[in-house]
A and B are shown apart, each in its own frame.
Chain A
Amino acid sequence: GQNIDQPTEMTATEGAIVQINCTYQTSGFNGLFWYQQHAGEAPTFLSYNVLDGLEEKGRFSSFLSRSKGYSYLLLKELQMKDSASYLCAVTDSNYQLIWGAGTKLIIKP
């Protein structure tokens, strides 16, 4: 079966750095997405990785290792508004998105 694993919940301090991990086992791989979802709202796109390596976009970076079936989202200089769930999703061989359950990130002052 297809599976996306990410931690259920993480806590971090304002101004700090946090890394949210995602491991996947899917039938084929055509890219990995990270989305942010604030409580009661829709998911919004953060990043997309299809090749190995690090993609940096402001305070957010995303890393991919296809050989290890592994990705992480790195958030720097955490702000209270970063409190949200972070969803990892993989595009499989049929070009369908397989979603993880999401990681709820709690930011404390």
Chain B
Amino acid sequence: IAGITQAPTSQILAAGRRMTLRCTQDMRHNAMYWYRQDLGLGLRLIHYSNTAGTTGKGEVPDGYSVSRANTDDFPLTLASAVPSQTSVYFCASSLTVSTDTQYFGPGTRLTVL
């Protein structure tokens, strides 16, 4: 693995279903982030983690949850998907939570019907 990987690449999901988006980084970065990107809007932060074992809420956390059991993995779970969660989801990481550059995974395109 080099950098950040996300899975799946794309997914079509029925409303009400549970879904987990996976994110793994091999750069030993302490901080990780989940964003959603919608047409005409900037990247919006869903949840973040400053270091393994801690998580925090971003700008749009409702309907999403995260965990950070170790340094490398930062899964995002939609407990009961709704059509408004149709979006492109990007995972990112940075060495620390301060002013360090964030590096992005390739993204997951999610459609909720």
Contact = CB atoms under 8 A, between A and B. Distances in A.
Interface of A: 4, 30-31, 33, 41-45, 48, 50, 87, 89, 91, 95-102
8 contacts: A42-B107, A43-B43, A43-B104, A48-B101, A91-B98, A97-B45, A97-B102, A99-B43
Contacts of B98: 30, 91, 95
Given A31-B99, A33-B101, A48-B101, A99 B44 contact: yes
Contact of A43 (B45, B90, B99): B90
B106 interface: yes
B107 to A, nearest CB: 6
B111 to A, nearest CB: 15
A101 B41 contact: yes
Interface in B59-113: 90, 97-99, 101-107
A33 to B, nearest CB: 7
